[in-house]
A and B are shown apart, each in its own frame.
Chain A
């Protein structure tokens, strides 16, 4: 798979209107390889013929439970599965995620949110691990290019190496590009538990990163500060 839209998605839900809406919505977003099942039996028949790349699964089905079907599918193949259910209790969510589901979205949902979650799962499962993984990607920031695989920043003056911590911070920001990543999330990604003692250290690393990424580190254009909250990579 070279693009997320090549992904084959199996939709399992007992509500025909919802299936129709999901099909329409996914088609509109570019996902055309879709198959639908309204019960466990139909889902088993489809799975017996061909395994999809992703399954969107309801929990309450007329002839069985979505959690049981999930276990049945996972016993055969390690497919990414997203639960889409009207059951919103924490216990249900925890059960679904605890079984190993890739995500759990409760109804009613925003179509955009479902698309974003599906895209994220596909990228994580099929694209990052192959040619499009973060490690193999290059990041272009104006006149400078960051080679995440090599951990270097290339500029007209030559190539500068990033330290291990700087690379971890940059990867976290890159994964959430365009969005604010809080100090806490960054520290947690780099140092793990008990991260709060590292906030000052984080600031030092950010300053050094800016020296390597920005034309003018005092007036950054790419690595911006959200005052009192965190940082954002444009």
Chain B
């Protein structure tokens, strides 16, 4: 919902900003227009064709009105006509005067056309001692409008303009909020729907309004997702159940193989070679037993069907019991285990599944023993790093080839997966540590991993 509020805020701001920008742009256009008008009036052509300017070019000489050639030229070029009306209302001089224009005027006629039009000709006048000089531009070339303002209004105009600007701004914001609210309301069900999708819930959004199409598509996506999740869950369950079933069915026959091979291995009726073969069958049965257990565990951890038995467990005690169990089960002389724990680890506990953690630790030490048949020294070092327990498992043996590490982090499936090294033991370690929100690090030296580091958070509950 925070995202939607963000969109809503951004929408209002954008709408308001666009409106303000257009408003400012209009003001600028008006300013430039007025500036161009002033420029036009300031131009020489405009000035020279003004009534007062032209009037100066008309002089009375020996009872005859004479207009300069320059003025004649200007009247012919820019105006429809020009005339001079004396104090009695008679036209005493004219140029280009059309026939439909009267030659004499009453006071009321003069008062009328001076402000507006003379027979639809827009006119301008200039008073002079001997009469009224009139110039007219062609019909429909000019629009005349009389403007009147009260003095009080003009003096208060700046305040009115400011109020208008502020009112406009307020209206812009109000409309932006109003439309934004509508936008927000229509988007809200969609956002709720997307949130529900992330929580694995089925959607049934109303498919109408401006977001009707989108709601329909979300409903469809939800159905597809739920179907896929169900199919995936079904497949995962089938796989886990299949592995559990197979491993269950194989247990009793394997018990027989283990039991009989153990009996044969100690039988006095067999010769040494036959007893060796029986021992080999027993040892390999034990490998199968471990593989079954690993396969079961890894598939259940992979598909989250392993319920962790979470309790406070002391890592020091777990590690000591691990080492003790090896020595108590007759660890051969070629292998030795040593444990060094930082003082601040003693008494420290973390939330976790002690059996699973012990299993992860045991897998690492078992690997060291299994892959170094000639023997090695296995070292486990525990220390505290901020809020993490750091356990380093290393040995003086051959180390873990980089190919194994690469296989462990391989995510995609490929046709040649059968040729990859066996990494189930390490995978289980990784899965268990990750189920405890920890990390496994492999410290490499010349393409060989010499030590495996397990980092477990102390205050973070497992997944």
A interface, CB within 8 angstroms of B: 15, 17-18, 21-22, 24-25, 28, 86-90, 106-112, 179-185, 196-197, 199, 226, 228-230
Contacts and interface: CB of A to CB of B under 8 A. Distances in A.
A182 B263 contact: no
Contact of B324 (A90, A182, A199): A182
Contact of B254 (A25, A89, A108, A111): A108
29 contacts: A21-B255, A21-B256, A86-B248, A86-B251, A88-B247, A88-B293, A90-B309, A107-B254, A107-B255, A108-B255, A109-B255, A109-B258, A110-B258, A179-B328, A180-B323, A181-B324, A182-B321, A184-B314, A184-B317, A184-B321, A196-B314, A197-B347, A226-B327, A228-B320, A228-B339, A228-B341, A229-B320, A229-B327, A229-B339
A87 B244 CA distance: 9
A216 to B, nearest CB: 24
B461 interface: no
Contact of A21 (B247, B259, B316): B259
Interface SS of B by simple majority: helix
B260 A21 contact: yes
Contacts of A112: 262
Interface in B307-350: 307, 309, 314, 316-317, 320-321, 323-324, 327-328, 338-341, 346-347
B289 interface: yes
B252 interface: yes
Contact of B316 (A88, A110, A184): A184
Given A183-B320, A184-B321, A229-B339, A88 B256 contact: no
A181 B327 CA distance: 10
A184 B320 contact: yes
A187 to B, nearest CB: 9
A88 B324 contact: no
A180 B248 contact: no
A197 to B, nearest CB: 7
Contacts of A88: 247-248, 251, 293, 296
Contact of A107 (B252, B263, B321, B340): B252
A109 B286 CA distance: 9
A93 B274 CA distance: 37
A230 B247 CA distance: 37
Contacts of B296: 88
A21 B255 CA distance: 9
A28 B255 contact: no
A229 B318 CA distance: 10
Contacts of A184: 314, 316-317, 320-321
B282 to A, nearest CB: 9
Nearest to A15: B252
B346 A196 contact: yes
A163 B347 CA distance: 26
Q: Of residues A106, A108, A111, A229, which shows the largest number of chain B Cβ atoms within 10 Å of its Cβ?
A: A108
A200 B296 CA distance: 42
A73 B255 CA distance: 26
A205 to B, nearest CB: 18
What 10 pairs between A and B have smallest CB-CB spacing?
Answer: A184-B317, A86-B251, A196-B347, A108-B254, A107-B251, A180-B324, A182-B320, A108-B255, A179-B328, A107-B255
A112 B244 CA distance: 26
Nearest to B321: A182
Contacts of A89: 244
B328 A108 contact: no
A184 B347 CA distance: 10
Contacts of A111: 258-259, 262-263
A24 B307 contact: no
Given A108-B285, A228-B339, A17 B256 contact: yes
Given A108-B285, A196-B346, A199-B346, A229 B251 contact: no
Given A180-B327, A182-B317, A226-B324, A18 B251 contact: no
A110 B263 contact: no
Contacts of A87: 248
A230 B346 contact: no
Q: Which of A87, A182, A196 has the most CB of B within 10 A?
A: A182
A18 B262 CA distance: 14
A18 B327 contact: no
Nearest to B249: A86
